[in-house]
């Protein structure tokens, strides 16, 4: 809990400071007088005056603001009117407003580049046996297949013009699948089959996975599971035996390799789990017959699973951890490639975020994809526990989201002010005060609705309803 709270505060603190610093530096560049730079809202906990600007930290850490000299907010001395924000040319006001979101996007590029340069251990895209009847199984994917590259196929576009991407990890695979599914595109996979992680390639083939059959409303972080992929390949081993459980009573030991289960040789640990979970009839567990290999010798083992409640369902369990550690790969890039991929990733995440928001608005994507502070805090804590590289990657993702969110044309956001300036640039006159007030009220109502929905989704996830 302490790690989660600290990671969340650092996340919000860094992103808010960078966002407001963008506004602050742009204001100084345009010779706008900055009165206050605040991290947080409400009661001031700490303050320091530096030159003509007061820097403060306030009690509510969910945001911040830069207060500039402005005749619309109070009287301005005649000698300082040329430094008031409202007196600046339209292009300068737009630059000051846009600088906050742009600072978040630039931060994301630098953070992603840092991850690319440092390298990160990722799960290798070496697949377990897909679920029977799933899209992955229908495409012909099998246990031991490793995805080498992926092409996004579009109607009316020849294969030579299709976009091809190298797949270096399961993270790459999931990201590319999400992009293709949101666009309603199928993908062509280049697959290499291996019997062992470091073994030779036994077969190469090309497969088409029909991601266009997945409705956009079902595209989320569980997409790989919806496609039918049960995660990375893991050997069908007994990794750990829990004391007093069916596996321990039957004499199974850590390191035993399951050669067959109910007469079926399991392709991997995922298929082994599926067969055990299917060993029931009318809600009662059925006996499981194993043949295991230990120290070069095979032996039969019969055991009776126990019914255990998992995520609201009663399923058979043998009380043992199954599967070897999945194979991993270090994903690292050079100086130039790491920076260009970081810029590309920031752009792709921005476009996908806008696309997802648009699809949620018209009902083509689930509103469950909207997350709030509780989910951010949860993932901040989890990524921090995994290591600083993972936390930096998470920070980059949230920074992109904050930048994109603030560019939305809602009156209470930076994008809303840019919308006002666009109107002023086209018509030659600013938005009237009465319309500013109406739009502001509408913007506040929309933001409150979004925040309420995001908080509801957060609570639903934490309580297991989603």
pLDDT digit string, tens, across residues 355-364 = 888 877 777 7
The confidence score (pLDDT) of residue 197 equals 67
Q: Can you list the domains of the chain with their CATH numbers?
A: 89-119+334-466 (no CATH), 123-231 (2.30.42.10), 238-322 (2.30.42.10)
The confidence score (pLDDT) of residue 158 equals 46
The confidence score (pLDDT) of residue 427 equals 92
Beta carbons within 8 Å of 414's beta carbon, 6+ residues apart: 97, 98, 100, 101, 406, 407
> From CA 192, how far away is CA 204, in angstroms rounded?
5
For the chain, the C-alpha Rg in angstroms (whole number) is 27
Would you give per-residue pLDDT tens digits along the chain (466 residues)? 788 888 888 898 999 999 999 999 999 999 999 999 999 988 999 999 999 999 999 988 878 999 999 998 888 899 999 999 999 999 999 999 999 999 999 999 999 999 999 998 899 999 999 988 999 999 999 998 999 999 998 754 544 445 788 999 998 999 899 889 888 899 999 999 877 767 778 889 999 999 999 887 778 778 888 899 878 899 999 999 999 999 999 999 999 999 999 999 998 998 898 899 888 888 888 999 999 999 989 999 999 999 988 777 788 999 999 998 888 999 999 999 999 999 999 998 998 888 888 877 777 777 777 777 778 888 788 888 888 888 999 999 999 999 999 999 888 899 999 999 999 999 989 888 888 888 888 888 888 888 888 888 778 777 765 5
Residues 272/276/278/281 CA torsion (nearest 10 deg)? 160
> From CA 96, how far away is CA 102, in angstroms rounded?
10
Dihedral over Cα of 133, 134, 139, 140: its sign = negative
Active site residues: 20
Whole-angstrom CA distances from 56 to 27, 50, 59 are: 18, 11, 10
Query: Do 375 and 461 form a contact (C-beta atoms < 8 A)?
Result: yes
Query: Do 252 and 292 form a contact (C-beta atoms < 8 A)?
Result: yes
> From CA 258, how far away is CA 277, in angstroms rounded?
16
């Amino acid at each position: 809990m302490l790690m989660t709270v600290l990671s969340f505060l650092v996340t919000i603190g860094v992103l808010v400071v960078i966002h407001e610093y963008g506004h602050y530096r742009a204001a100084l560049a345009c010779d706008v007088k900055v009165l206050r730079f605040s991290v947080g809202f409400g009661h001031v906990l700490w303050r320091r005056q530096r030159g003509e600007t007061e820097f403060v930290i306030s009690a509510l850490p969910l945001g911040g603001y830069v207060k500039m000299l402005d005749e619309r907010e109070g009287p301005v001395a005649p000698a300082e009117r040329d430094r008031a924000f409202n007196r600046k040319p339209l292009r300068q006001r737009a630059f000051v407003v846009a600088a906050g979101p742009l600072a978040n996007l630039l931060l994301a590029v630098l953070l992603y580049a840092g991850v690319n340069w440092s390298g990160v251990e990722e799960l290798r895209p070496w697949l377990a046996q897909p679920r029977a009847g799933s899209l992955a199984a229908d495409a012909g994917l099998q246990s031991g297949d490793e995805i080498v590259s992926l092409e996004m196929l579009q109607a009316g576009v020849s294969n030579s013009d299709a976009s091809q991407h190298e797949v270096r990890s399961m993270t790459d695979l999931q990201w590319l699948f999400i992009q293709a599914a949101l666009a309603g595109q199928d993908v062509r996979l280049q697959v290499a089959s291996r019997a062992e992680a470091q073994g030779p390639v036994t077969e190469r083939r090309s497969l088409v996975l029909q991601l266009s059959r997945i409705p956009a409303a079902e595209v989320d972080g569980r997409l790989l599971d919806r496609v039918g992929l049960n995660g990375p390949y893991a050997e069908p081993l007994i990794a750990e035996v829990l004391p007093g459980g069916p596996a321990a009573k039957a004499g199974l030991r850590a390191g035993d390799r399951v050669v067959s289960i109910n007469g079926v040789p399991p392709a991997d640990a995922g298929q082994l789990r599926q067969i055990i979970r299917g060993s029931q009839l009318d809600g009662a567990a059925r006996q499981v017959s194993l043949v295991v290999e230990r120290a070069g010798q095979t032996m039969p083992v019969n055991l009776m699973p126990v019914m255990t409640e998992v995520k609201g369902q009663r399923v058979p369990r043998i009380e043992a951890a199954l599967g070897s550690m999945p194979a991993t790969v270090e994903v690292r890039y050079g100086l130039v490639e790491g920076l260009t991929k970081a810029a590309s990733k920031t752009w792709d995440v921005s476009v996908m975020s806008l696309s997802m928001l648009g699809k949620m608005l018209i009902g083509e994507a689930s509103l469950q994809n909207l997350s709030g502070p509780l989910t951010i805090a949860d993932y901040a804590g989890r990524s921090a526990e995994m290591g600083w590289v993972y936390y930096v990657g998470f920070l980059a993702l949230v920074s992109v989201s904050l930048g994109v969110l603030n560019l939305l044309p809602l009156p209470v956001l930076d994008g809303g002010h840019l919308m006002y300036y666009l109107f002023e640039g086209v018509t030659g006159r600013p938005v009237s005060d009465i319309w500013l007030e109406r739009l502001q009220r509408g913007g506040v109502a929309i933001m409150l609705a979004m925040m309420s929905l995001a908080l509801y989704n957060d609570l639903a996830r934490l309580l297991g309803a989603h």
